[in-house]
Structure formats: C-alpha cells, structure tokens
Amino acid sequence: MVRSVTVDELAAAHQRGERIVDVRERFEFDGGHIPGVDHVAMALVPLRIDEFTGSRAVWVVCESGNRSWQVADYLSRHGVEAYNVNGGMSAWRAAGLPQETGVGATS
C-alpha cells in the first residue's frame, strides 16, 4: 500500500536528508526541481530497481502526484518503503518551497 504525504512532510524529509527521487522527464526536471534530489525518469525505474531495493525509504515526486503514485506503488511491490507526494512539484511551488533549475542532481 502506498502512503501519500504532503509537501510539508516532504520538506521535513528533505531537511532530514531523506532520499527524494523526482520521476519526471529530464526537461521537466531541468525546468525546476527540489535542490539535491535524485532524478530517475519514471520509465527508467524498472531498469534501475536495484538502486532502490534494500535501501532506506524513498520519497517520490513528479509534477502532480500521478506518476509518483505509480512509481511508489511499483517500488512498494518490490519491498521498498516508498512515499508518494500529493500535488507533486505543483504543490511544492505553490507552497513557496525552494527549487533550482538546470542539472543539479544525478540522473
């Protein structure tokens, strides 16, 4: 079962140094993302599942929360503690939380 969280919960996780993965396409990510997050486009998650299994919890974000829910569900079914961020980057921006543009994290 996927647990959905708010951007406030995500901001707290970000401050604690939790792993956050942005699953949007590269052009979306480059247009604005949470500083220091990992980038793994949704389509690449199954190919890179080994990077997620056996690790700590993963907070998954996209633009609105739809793709991230699908990825969080997939990860959960593979034994990963995954959280979906309701509202995604749209909610993050609306809350006035920090973001950066351009390439700023792994992909």
Please say if the pLDDT value at position 106 is more than 70. Answer: no
| Helical (H) or strand (E) element with 45 | none
- Please say whether the structural domain 3-94 has been given the CATH code 3.40.250.10: yes
d(CA 94, CA 88): 10
3 state SS of 65: coil
pLDDT tens for each residue of 22-45: 999 999 999 999 999 999 999 999
| The dihedral sign for the CA sequence 11, 76, 27, 104 | positive
pLDDT tens for each residue of 95-105: 999 999 976 55
pLDDT tens for each residue of 73-85: 999 999 999 999 9
Average pLDDT value over all residues in the chain: 93
